[in-house]
Amino acid sequence: MKIPKFKNESEEADWWYANRKKVERELRNAKPVTDASGKPMTPAEIAAAHIAAGTRVCQETLISYTVIYEHGPNEEGNETWSAYIPDLTGVVSCGDTRDECERMIREAIELYAETMRDLGRPLPAPSSEAGVVEIAVRRPQDK
């Protein structure tokens, strides 16, 4: 796949977004990148070669959001899990297990981020934190 020259970062990001599936498919089937001697290069070496040559490498930014997980019985008495992101209004998920709930909330965050990008809006910066507070509680006397 030939990657075009871009006028700005926005144009580059749009191209990568529009072609991500094709790029992923080609990368899965690609031969390893090698140096002049034929030795396979690490991702860091490839990035360094791009920087040295003055070519751009599309980068993703990792953002960490606090996820609040809750669990309890549903109407039928079965254990269920739910999750929400305090910093992303409306991003919620639920599942029968914690693992399922984690997969679903990750997908919900990715869809939210994709929607915000399509609308040209920035993602809210993470600002929430979660913690655990431990207290001593006096139990009622057995009668």
| Per-residue exposure over 8-35, b if at least 16 CB sit within 10 Å of its own CB, e if not | eeeebeeeeeeeeeebeeeeeeeeeeee
In tens digits, the chain (143 residues) has pLDDT values of: 667 777 777 777 777 777 777 766 776 776 777 888 888 877 767 767 766 666 655 556 678 899 999 999 988 999 999 999 999 999 999 999 999 999 999 999 999 988 888 888 888 888 999 999 999 998 887 65
| Ordered DSSP codes for 69-129 | EEEEE-TTS-EEEEEE-TTSTT-EEEESSHHHHHHHHHHHHHHHHHHHHHTT-PPPPP---
What is the model's pLDDT at position 114?
Answer: 87
What is the model's pLDDT at position 120?
Answer: 83
pTM of the model: 0.54
Burial class (CB in 10 A: 0-12, 13-18, 19+), 80: middle
